[in-house]
Amino acid sequence: MQTSARNHLQGKVHAVHDGAVNTEVVLDLGEGQHLVAIVTKDSAHRLGLAAGKSAWALVKASWPILVEGAAPATSARNTLCGTIKAVTTGAVNTEVVLGLKGGAELVVMITTGSEKTLGLKVGDAACALIKATHVILGVD
């Protein structure tokens, strides 16, 4: 399957917590990094999500919020930190590629104005903040 989502992160389900309607799924990305997804209980059961199962996390590049340096305390369930590998500036938007531990990459689209304000450059430390409801899960 091919998708328009720029970010495809593979991992293993670490934990599944069922609620009345939604299920919280914690995906272990390796290198001590976890990604939390909130999906419907029906979807979690249909996908057979259980501890140890391989799964994919899809995140559109426009969904994360990028912060320079260390991440501040926020209500976002996910904070993935790394080093900026590439910055491609456009007239309106800028694409930032964040290298994560273990070699995975996360692409984040921000406004060009934000890029200038933050002064982002290759080699800088940065973190991506991702709401758990902005993570789409899939299985092979």
Q: Judging by beta carbons within 10 Å of its beta carbon (0-12, 13-18, 19+), is residue 10 exposed, middle or buried?
A: middle
* Structural domains of the chain, with CATH: 7-59+131-138 (2.40.50.100), 65-130 (2.40.50.100)
CB 13 within 8 A of CB 110: no
Which pLDDT does position 64 carry in this prediction?
97
Which residues, in sequence order, are CB contacts of 75 under 8 Å at separation 6+? none
What is the rounded CA–CA span in Å between residue 100 and residue 38?
A: 22
pLDDT, mean of each 10-residue run, the chain (140 residues): 92 97 97 96 97 98 94 90 97 97 95 96 96 97
Say what the pLDDT of residue 23 is: 98
Q: What pLDDT is recorded for position 105? A: 97
Q: What is the pLDDT of residue 18?
A: 96
pLDDT number for residue 119: 95
> What is this structure's pTM?
0.93
